[in-house]
A and B are shown apart, each in its own frame.
Chain A
């Protein structure tokens, strides 16, 4: 596609429910990143994929958060037992490669609201 695509654009869920957020990176980009942005803050790193494998998941806040990228393209961020504090905009970004980084392209984000 022309850019990084994220779906849904908005998601409202009840506390305790499970949610999945999808990211479709730019075709050919091997590196994919998930970030979380709270109101008035800069994006916060969650996880980085190089191909199919999670090269660095040190930013995931706890074991309720999990992400996969089974075929090295589309990625899904999964959140179990959602809490109100999980409410934020979840941003996905991709770049041509992980090392020798020059530019990350961000999607429009998924605004998650936990009520």
Chain B
């Protein structure tokens, strides 16, 4: 079945260093979403990418969708302690664009002050 693989599983960085998490699928995706989950919290929507090669920025966060729409990345520049949490990519199940999502395993980010 459709799967979304995410690496790395964990990342420890010093405050101020950059961070990147990668999401890969063996099948073409109609879209990709990114969520952040703080420890003890619930997933919070960050962004959705739909177009091939799309790049979107939110302050220090840069999101990319691959040309083949099979991979995506989230890059954080100059991490801060407030960036701590688990970042999930998620893709719509099937060919539609709905909230029925397949989530990656997540990348847990720890930031040392």
B-contacting residues of A (Cβ < 8 Å)? 31, 33, 40-45, 48, 56, 91, 93, 95, 98-109
Contacts and interface: CB of A to CB of B under 8 A. Distances in A.
B101 A43 contact: yes
Contacts, number: 59
Contacts of A105: 45
Contacts of B45: 103-105
Contacts of B42: 91, 106-109
Contact of A43 (B93, B97, B103): B103
7 contacts: A43-B43, A43-B88, A48-B99, A91-B42, A98-B99, A103-B45, A108-B42
Contacts of A41: 105-106
Q: Which 7 A-B pairs have the closest CB atoms?
A: A42-B103, A104-B99, A106-B42, A103-B45, A95-B99, A101-B98, A48-B100
> Which label, helix, strand, loop or mixed, suits the secondary structure of the A interface?
loop
Q: How large is the interface on B (under 10, 10 to 19, 20 to 34, 35 or more residues)?
A: 20 to 34
Contacts of B100: 33, 45, 48, 56
Contacts of A93: 99
Contact of A101 (B44, B92, B102): B92
Nearest to B105: A42
Contacts of B74: none
A104 to B, nearest CB: 4
